[in-house]
């Protein structure tokens, strides 16, 4: 069972209504998300705020997993390890590209690279795991 | 060189103007931060949003480090590992307690436990590292 | 269902026959493990090798979990985040103290601080998660 | 300043004399290491032991960094986050492929995927950081 890009985008809009994340692409095992950067996303000094970066990574991972297992609202983030590599641009959108590493019965793990749009050097690396509720699985 | 609670609180207010984090306590090697939870911090289903949790942990760690090394604006988060343990309450403030593990010349590492106020079981565990710019150190 | 210190020690001896880890203490939610340090555990320069440190942390976490859920041979490490804080002594045993953070139905998470015996400053911090097989749970 | 494959292999042999890791390839930003698997590397049940997997990842990361910054004996692992994805084969060598994410002045970060030789699905994902001593940098 899988979710299409349209299904995943509709679910994201309902689940993260405050989020400005836009689902750009969804293919088997990967997802690409973008997030516009403006005044609200910046900290003094022109740095994109950490929580915005985390949001993009978390959403990219979530959507990539939905693409594999279908719409599972109760899947929850179990762990995230975030490495901050470079200062993101204050003038460019943040692009998050997720690559799944393993989708198991109860855990799904993937990594996300975040970029400032137009720059090929990653600004953040995230590896994270979602827990998939057993109840969900028995009903599939 | 160290920062007092008042100095650290003033710096936080300037550095994270959007943040609702309140510095509750600052002692050698520890910091306690609180964050009120209302509509803006919740996701559908009554879950405190992940980025809010990350913010509280990041601020608690930052402030604890400032308490040890003084006001160093250029210290930046290098890595964060976040384990989500339990669903936080939608009705209680989030409390973050940081315990520093090591403050070295260029890296400072600490852990933060987040709680829903009034509940002794942690909802999130974070371990993270800040990079302290060498330039800062040579001028101190 | 829980395991006693004797049951956990017997299981460890069978499961990790090459390991020199000794179970020192097991109480609800905590475990303490020691590992003698000699020539085999050192790298050039007198540093305790990273894999030895990881082993002590992994065993302490595993045993603490067994203490809570009983002998579950199929529980496997899902993730470990290791922060190396200080150089361990080449002349002292490594002591690992695990504190569980959450024992859920399918995941158990805890943290471990490693010390050089006789020194109160931790040398390594580890936070890790074990996956507990669903089959185990349904038969209990 | 960089190290060649031969220089890095000679340094590894001196620094990790107990290690059976073989440096297979070293290119700008990447390194590939292999480790034969036999009785000594297995746990009961035919699983490759966690510390062996950690060693391969740590060595691959270390060598990839040496390839970029030259032979720096005092570089030390600062943090490792290890996600165990699949059970490795007991009959195949472990192959570790490191891709550097950032080499800065004081920190270098990279990720390593471990495979059982002949299988394209990764068994372990590691992201880690080395601290590069400032003293080293001032003498270069």
Chain A CB within 8 Å of residue C101 CB:
no
The pLDDT, as a whole number, for residue C122 is 98
Of B81, B101, B102, the CB nearest to C81: B81
Give yes or no for a contact between D95 and D31, defined as CB atoms under 8 angstroms apart: no
Higher pLDDT, B32 or B46: B32
Contact A111 D129 (CB under 8 A): no
Contact A125 D125 (CB under 8 A): no
Chain C CB within 8 Å of residue B85 CB:
yes
Query: pLDDT by residue (tens digit) across C73-107?
Result: 888 999 999 999 999 999 999 999 999 999 999 99
The pLDDT, as a whole number, for residue B2 is 86
* Cα separation, D28 vs B102, whole angstroms: 33
Strand order in the sheet with A30-35: A22-27, A30-35, A94-103, A107-116, A124-131, A76-84, B76-84, B124-131, B107-116, B94-103, B30-35, B22-27
pLDDT confidence bin for C139, thresholds 50/70/90: very low
The alpha-carbon gap from B130 to the nearest alpha carbon of chain D, in Å, equals 11
Higher pLDDT, C12 or A110: A110
pLDDT confidence bin for A16, thresholds 50/70/90: confident
Sign of CA dihedral B122, A57, A83, A39: negative
* Cα separation, A2 vs A7, whole angstroms: 10
As a whole number, the mean pLDDT across chain D is 91
pLDDT confidence bin for C135, thresholds 50/70/90: low
Chain A CB within 8 Å of residue D67 CB:
no
Contact A131 C106 (CB under 8 A): yes
Chain C CB within 8 Å of residue A36 CB:
no
If you measure CA to CA, which chain B residue comes closest to A11? B44
The pLDDT, as a whole number, for residue B139 is 40
Which CATH number applies to B5-131?
A: 3.10.129.10
Contact B127 C85 (CB under 8 A): no
The pLDDT, as a whole number, for residue D9 is 93
Q: Which of C72, C34, C71 is nearest to C56 (CA)?
A: C34
Q: Using the predicted structure, report yes or no on whether residue B138 has a pLDDT greater than 50.
A: no
Query: pLDDT by residue (tens digit) across C12-67?
Result: 888 877 789 999 999 999 999 999 999 989 887 888 999 999 999 999 999 999 99
Q: Using the predicted structure, report yes or no on whether residue D72 has a pLDDT greater than 90.
A: no
Chain C CB within 8 Å of residue B125 CB:
yes
* Secondary element (H or E) of residue A124: strand A124-131
Q: Using the predicted structure, report yes or no on whether residue D1 has a pLDDT greater than 60.
A: no
Q: In B, which residues are within 8 Å of D77 by CB distance? A: none
The pLDDT, as a whole number, for residue C138 is 43
The alpha-carbon gap from A18 to the nearest alpha carbon of chain D, in Å, equals 31
pLDDT confidence bin for D139, thresholds 50/70/90: very low
Give domain limits for chain B. 5-131
Chain C CB within 8 Å of residue D14 CB:
yes
Query: pLDDT by residue (tens digit) across A21-38?
Result: 999 999 999 999 999 999
Chain D CB within 8 Å of residue B49 CB:
no
Pairing of strands A76-84, A47-48: unpaired
Higher pLDDT, A53 or B138: A53
* Cα separation, D26 vs A16, whole angstroms: 43
Q: In C, which residues are within 8 Å of B125 by CB distance? A: 101, 109, 111, 127
The pLDDT, as a whole number, for residue D45 is 80
The pLDDT, as a whole number, for residue A1 is 55
Contact B81 A80 (CB under 8 A): yes
The pLDDT, as a whole number, for residue B133 is 85
Higher pLDDT, B42 or D119: D119
Q: In B, which residues are within 8 Å of D111 by CB distance? A: none
Q: Using the predicted structure, report yes or no on whether residue D140 has a pLDDT greater than 80.
A: no
The alpha-carbon gap from C79 to the nearest alpha carbon of chain B, in Å, equals 11
Give yes or no for a contact between A12 and A23, defined as CB atoms under 8 angstroms apart: yes
The alpha-carbon gap from D118 to the nearest alpha carbon of chain C, in Å, equals 23
Which residue in D134, D136, D137, D138 has the most chain B C-beta atoms within 10 A of its own C-beta, making it the best mutation to test that interface?
D134
Contact C134 A129 (CB under 8 A): no
pLDDT confidence bin for D44, thresholds 50/70/90: confident
Q: Which of D138, D68, D48, D55 is nearest to D109 (CA)?
A: D68
* Cα separation, D80 vs D57, whole angstroms: 9
The alpha-carbon gap from A87 to the nearest alpha carbon of chain D, in Å, equals 12
pLDDT confidence bin for A47, thresholds 50/70/90: confident
The pLDDT, as a whole number, for residue A32 is 98
Contact D50 C55 (CB under 8 A): yes
Q: Using the predicted structure, report yes or no on whether residue A2 has a pLDDT greater than 90.
A: no
Q: In B, which residues are within 8 Å of D106 by CB distance? A: 106, 131, 134
Chain A CB within 8 Å of residue B18 CB:
yes
The alpha-carbon gap from D25 to the nearest alpha carbon of chain B, in Å, equals 28
Query: pLDDT by residue (tens digit) across A76-101?
Result: 999 999 999 999 999 999 999 999 99
Contact C50 D77 (CB under 8 A): yes
Query: pLDDT by residue (tens digit) across B90-124?
Result: 999 999 999 999 999 999 999 999 999 999 999 99
Q: What share of chain B is helix, strand, coil (3-state, %, to 5)?
A: 30, 40, 35
């Amino acid at each position: 069972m899988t979710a299409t890009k349209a299904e995943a985008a509709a679910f994201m809009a309902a689940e993260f209504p405050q989020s400005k994340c836009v689902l750009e692409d969804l293919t088997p095992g990967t997802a690409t998300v973008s997030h516009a950067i403006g005044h609200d996303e910046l900290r003094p000094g022109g740095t994109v705020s950490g929580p915005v970066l985390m949001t993009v990574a978390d959403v990219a991972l979530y959507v990539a997993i939905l693409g594999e297992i279908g719409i599972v609202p109760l899947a929850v983030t179990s762990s995230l390890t975030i490495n901050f590599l470079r200062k993101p641009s204050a003038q460019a959108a943040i692009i998050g590209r997720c690559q799944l590493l393993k989708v198991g019965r109860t855990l799904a793990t993937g990594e996300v690279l975040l970029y400032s749009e137009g720059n090929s050097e990653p600004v953040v690396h995230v590896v994270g795991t979602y827990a998939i509720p057993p109840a969900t699985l028995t009903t599939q």
